């Protein structure tokens, strides 16, 4: 036998009203949305006899692009009235509700008049669909009152529904002479503020929220504020058209207006404006290029209007991930919001919209970069990371990036195309540390090596290698550069043999082999050849020696040293020659340890405990030897005087 779930209404109301939305501010959005939908429903009713109509268009036509003025064309109005006692009334001239409709719609959480479950229709015209939005008012009040008179059934009596935050409600018909019954068709929602939340219903807050969420709605939106003396101040909050859909005298005037809008709505002066127009997706707007670089991981906060109502100012997921260098303002009729209306529902429509927007921004970026003018240089200087990100997923952008993207190279900054043309091949290091290690030597030898250690670069070079099979694009490590390290003259090799053996002995225990070569530039005393495995093993052995018995045993399993670091000492360097020439073995080995630690530091590796000890030992030995030498010299001086 199956049973029906029991529902804790108070809990459900609390969950939906207080935990679905990120801020109480959305209560006004939901009320504006219900009022607009009620006007749309009225419009739909009359359209059945008159033919289809677009409420947004009707308002624009009615306003004539010159502000919302009184007009003979019938259209809906929504009035927000802030009462002197801190209350708020939201009245609409919409379709209204009969007792039967209110019983069905307002008494059942999740029931909505705006979707036909069987036919799957309704969503296109209306903003709401989930049947929970009204509950958001419980974020600012404990009691919602709705009085309504139906326009579809003019003979029906007005109704009064009151909902309470604990899940109760009452619903009554109002007598025609009841002063609370609305005179005309439509609905009024009344809220009294919850204690300590009065500010959400104050005139200044209501005005700011209404302008933000509703100024572009296709209704005549007004704010009425009751003054202490009983008079009422009225203000129109409606704007007639979307800034990017206005007609402008010239392209320049349009550009300036769109920039100005960006500064006021998004708070920055854009580098450029990219028009967005996807009639099939019912989307129009502007993508603004950010004036400074941002990290690819920054979440993209777009300002999204759904059927001219502001959904949110931080809507993510509208664009492909590589388009992190723009912020959009769009109005759309097609994409679906999530139930909280703070994000977009990830469905086929959103996927198609994202693809289409991505290709508009991609086309603009390709065209702008191809111009090779001041604008493209600016775009590249600020947003080269985005260009790199796009080149990873787009062949056309990859081809362009090869021509225009500058890379750090040991022979100077250049594009990949320039490097290939000059040298016939492209060598690169996949890490910044690797580059730092070999750059001085490669530079002195005039070997072109590209630093591909920054975000996306190694993958980008890999893509270039695959896309241009005739090009030689190869990763290099310090050991590849060792070809330029020359062996010593036989006589010098003989001379240094003993010193080298003792130095090798002193560094062998630390997992480092030592070689003596000569290379340019002579200012570089030594080089540590890159061997990732050796580095890893070095870290493990350090951990083993520092760990307690249990962990030392476990880690020790992984450290069977077979890979070793190679320290190449440069015989052309005066300090190295000094160390090799010292007759005192302890001092020589201390000098070698100091050279090793310096090479480690130069290669950007962290200095583990073992190496720090080496450095300290070396310093003490050198200091002791210097003091002893000084003492001996003083003694000799004393004997002669
Ligand atoms: N001002 C109004 N005029 C007429 N009917 C209304 C009004 N406000 C609410 N309703 C009715 O109450 C129902 C429930 O409203 P509610 O805001 O909870 O959900 P919704 O708007 O349908 O969907 P969503 O949760 O997506 O906002 C609506 O579908 C509508 O039929």
pLDDT in tens, 441-472: 787 777 889 999 988 999 999 999 999 999 99
pLDDT at position 106 is: 86
Is 495 annotated to bind a ligand? Reply is no
pLDDT of residue 125: 73
Q: Which of 52-61, 446-455, 493-502, 621-630 has the lowest mean pLDDT?
A: 52-61
CA angle 195, 198, 203 (to 5 degrees): 165
Q: What CATH fold (topology level) applies to the domain 405-482?
A: Rossmann fold (3.40.50)
Closest of 448, 596, 612, 429 to residue 528, by C-alpha? 596
Calculate mean pLDDT across residues 194-210: 95
pLDDT at 552 > cutoff 60: no
Q: Is 424 left (phi over 0), alpha (psi -120 to 50) or beta?
A: left
- Tell me what pLDDT residue 587 has: 92
Is residue 525 reached through a cis peptide bond, with omega within 30 degrees of 0 on the bond before it?
A: no
What pLDDT sits at residue 186? 95
pLDDT at 383: 95
Name the band, by pLDDT with cuts 50, 70 and 90, for residue 123: low
- Can you state the angle between helices 395-404 and 348-371, rounded to 10 degrees? 30
Q: CA 371 to CA 350: how far, in whole Å?
A: 32
pLDDT higher than 50, residue 514: yes
Question: Mind listing the pLDDT tens digit for each residue in 628-637?
Answer: 777 777 777 7
Give the whole-angstrom CA distance, residue 218 versus residue 265.
19
Whether pLDDT at 38 is above 90: yes
For residue 161 and ligand 1, the question of a CB distance below 6 A is answered with: no
Give which of 341, 391, 375 is closest to 270, Cα–Cα: 375
Verify whether ligand 1 is closer than 6 Å to residue 131 (CB atom): yes
Phi, psi of 475 (to 5 degrees): -75, 145
Does the pLDDT value for residue 139 go beyond 50?
A: yes
Lowest-confidence region among 59-63, 134-138, 349-353, 419-423: 59-63
Cα angle 423, 427, 433; round to 5: 135
- Spatial neighbors of 593 by CB under 8 A, at least 6 apart, are 506, 507, 614, 615, 617, 618
Is the pLDDT confidence value at 391 over 60?
yes
Q: Is the pLDDT of residue 78 over 70?
A: yes
- CA proximity to 291, closest of 228, 383, 220: 383
Residue 75 · residue 58 · CB < 8 Å: yes
Amino acid 625: pLDDT: 83
Q: State the pLDDT at residue 563.
A: 58
* pLDDT band, residue 604 (cuts 50/70/90): low
What are the boundaries of each domain within the chain? Answer: 9-236, 247-370, 405-482, 490-633
Please state the rounded mean pLDDT for residues 195-216. Answer: 95
560, 541 contact by CB (below 8 A): no
* pLDDT for the residue 54: 40
d(CA 103, CA 216): 32
Residue 30 annotated in ligand binding: yes
Ligand 1 centroid to residue 8 C-alpha, Å: 22
| Ligand 1 neighbourhood includes 402 CB (under 6 angstroms) | no
CB neighbours (10 Å) of residue 362?
18
The strands making up 77-82's β-sheet, listed across from edge to edge, are 169-174, 158-164, 143-149, 186-191, 88-92, 77-82, 220-226, 232-236
Report whether residue 94 contacts ligand 1, using a CB cutoff of 6 Å.
yes
**With bands split at pLDDT 50, 70 and 90, how would you rate the model's confidence at 61?**
very low
Domain 247-370 has CATH 3.40.50.150: no
Question: Is there a binding annotation on residue 498?
Answer: no
- Starting at the earlier edge strand, list the strands of the sheet with 565-570: 512-517, 565-570, 526-529
Closest alpha carbon to 13 in 141, 188, 190: 141
Comparison of pLDDT for 562 and 73, the residue scoring more: 562
The answer to whether residue 210 scores a pLDDT higher than 80 is: yes
pLDDT, the chain, mean: 84
In this prediction the ipTM stands at 0.97
In CATH terms, is domain 490-633 a member of 3.40.190.10?
no
**Which one has a higher pLDDT value, 578 or 434?**
578
Query: Span 8-25, mean pLDDT?
Result: 78
How much is the average pLDDT of 145-161?
A: 94
Among protein residues, the one with the nearest Cα to ligand 1's atom 1 is 35
- The pLDDT of residue 67: 34
Tell whether the model's pLDDT for residue 19 goes beyond 60.
yes
- In terms of Cα–Cα distance, which of 477, 546, 537, 479 is closest to 512? 537
Predicted confidence at residue 591, as pLDDT, reads 92
Beta pairing, strands 158-164 & 143-149? antiparallel
Higher per-residue confidence, 546 vs 77: 77
Residue 230: partners with Cβ closer than 8 Å, 6 or more residues away: 84
Q: Which residue has the higher pLDDT, 486 or 557?
A: 486
Residue with more model confidence, 30 or 116: 30
Q: How far apart (Å, rounded) are the C-alpha atoms in residues 114 and 457?
A: 50
Residue 42 to residue 27: CA distance in whole angstroms: 23
Q: How far, in Å, CA of 64 to CA of 60, rounded?
A: 6
| Mean pLDDT within 474-485 | 75
Nearest atom of ligand 1 to the alpha carbon of 101: 31
Q: Tell me, what's the pLDDT at 414?
A: 94
Fold that domain 9-236 belongs to in CATH: Heat Shock Protein 90 (3.30.565)
Average pLDDT over residues 128-135: 81
pLDDT at 116: 57
434 lines ligand 1 (CB under 6 A): no
Q: The pTM is what?
A: 0.74
In sequence order, the 6+-apart residues with CB closer than 8 A to the CB of 341 are 26, 29, 30, 133, 306, 311, 312
Instruction: Work out which ligand 1 atom sits closest to the CA atom of 94.
Output: 3
pLDDT at 48 over 60: no
pLDDT of residue 641: 60
Q: Residue 142's closest CA among 167, 169, 165?
A: 165
Q: Is 129 close to ligand 1, i.e. is its CB under 6 Å away?
A: yes
Those residues with Cβ within 8 angstroms of residue 11's Cβ, 6 or more apart along the chain or in another chain: none
Torsion of CA 454, 456, 462, 463, to 10 degrees: -150
Q: Average pLDDT, stretch 254-276?
A: 95
Instruction: Identify the residue whose C-alpha is closest to ligand 1 atom 19.
Output: 131
Average pLDDT over residues 325-337: 92
Q: Is 445 helix (H, G, I), strand (E, B) or coil?
A: coil
Q: What is the CA radius of gyration of the chain?
A: 37
């Amino acid at each position: 036998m199956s049973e029906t779930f029991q529902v804790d209404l108070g809990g459900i109301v609390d969950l939906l009203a207080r935990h679905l939305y990120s801020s109480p501010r959305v209560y006004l959005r939901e009320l504006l949305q219900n009022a607009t939908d009620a006007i749309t429903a009225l419009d739909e009713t009359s359209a059945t006899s008159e033919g289809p109509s677009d409420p947004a268009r009707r308002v624009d036509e009615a306003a004539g692009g010159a502000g919302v003025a009184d007009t003979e064309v019938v259209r809906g109005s929504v009035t927000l009235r802030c009462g002197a006692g801190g209350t708020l009334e939201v009245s609409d001239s919409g379709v209204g509700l009969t007792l039967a409709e209110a019983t069905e719609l307002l008494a059942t959480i999740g029931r909505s008049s705006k979707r036909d479950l069987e036919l799957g229709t309704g969503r296109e015209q209306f903003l709401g669909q989930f049947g929970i939005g009204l509950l958001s008012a419980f974020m600012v009040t404990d009691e919602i009152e709705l009085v309504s008179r139906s326009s579809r059934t003019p003979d029906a009596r007005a109704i009064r529904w009151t909902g309470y935050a604990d899940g109760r409600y009452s619903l009554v018909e109002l007598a025609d002479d009841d002063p609370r019954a609305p005179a005309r068709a439509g609905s009024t929602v009344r809220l009294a503020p919850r204690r300590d939340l009065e500010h959400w219903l104050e005139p200044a807050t209501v005005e700011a929220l209404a302008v933000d969420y509703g100024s572009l709605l296709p209704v005549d939106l007004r704010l009425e504020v009751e003054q202490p003396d009983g008079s009422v101040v009225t203000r129109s909050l409606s704007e007639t058209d979307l800034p990017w859909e206005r007609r402008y005298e010239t392209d320049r005037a349009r550009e300036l207006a769109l920039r100005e809008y960006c500064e006021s709505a998004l708070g920055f002066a854009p580098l450029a404006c990219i028009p967005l127009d996807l009639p099939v997706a019912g989307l129009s707007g502007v993508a603004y290029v950010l004036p400074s670089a941002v990290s690819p991981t920054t979440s993209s906060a777009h300002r999204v209007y759904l059927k001219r109502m502001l959904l949110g100012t931080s809507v993510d997921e509208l664009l492909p991930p590589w388009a992190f260098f723009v912020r959009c303002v769009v109005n759309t009729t097609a994409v679906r919001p999530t139930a909280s209306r703070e994000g977009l529902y990830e469905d086929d429509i959103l996927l198609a919209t994202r693809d289409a927007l991505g290709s508009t921004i991609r086309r603009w970026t390709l065209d702008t970069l191809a111009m090779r003018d001041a604008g493209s240089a600016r775009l590249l200087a600020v947003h080269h990371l985005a260009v790199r990100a796009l080149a990873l997923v787009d062949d056309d952008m990859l081809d362009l990036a090869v021509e225009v993207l500058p890379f750090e190279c040991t022979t100077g900054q250049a594009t990949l195309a320039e490097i290939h043309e000059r040298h016939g091949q492209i060598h690169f290091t996949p890490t910044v540390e690797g580059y730092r290690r070999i750059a001085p030597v490669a530079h002195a030898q005039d070997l072109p090596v590209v630093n591909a250690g920054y975000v996306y670069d190694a993958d980008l070079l890999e893509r270039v290698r695959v896309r241009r099979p005739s090009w030689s694009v190869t990763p290099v490590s310090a050991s590849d550069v060792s070809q330029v390290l020359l062996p010593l003259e036989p006589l010098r090799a003989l001379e240094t043999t003993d010193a080298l053996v003792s130095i090798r002995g002193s560094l062998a225990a630390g997992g480092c082999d030592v070689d003596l070569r000569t290379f340019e530039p002579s200012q570089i005393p030594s080089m540590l050849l890159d061997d990732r495995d050796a580095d890893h093993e070095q870290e493990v052995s350090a951990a083993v020696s520092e760990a307690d018995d249990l962990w030392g045993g476990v880690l020790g399993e992984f450290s069977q040293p077979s890979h070793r670091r190679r320290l190449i000492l440069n015989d052309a360097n005066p300090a190295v020659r000094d160390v090799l020439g010292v007759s005192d073995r302890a001092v020589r080995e201390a000098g070698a340890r100091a050279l090793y630690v310096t090479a480690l530091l130069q290669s950007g590796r962290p200095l583990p405990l073992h190496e720090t000890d080496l450095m300290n030992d070396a310093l003490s030995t050198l200091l002791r030897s210097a003091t002893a030498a000084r003492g001996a010299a003083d003694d000799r001086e004393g004997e002669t005087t």
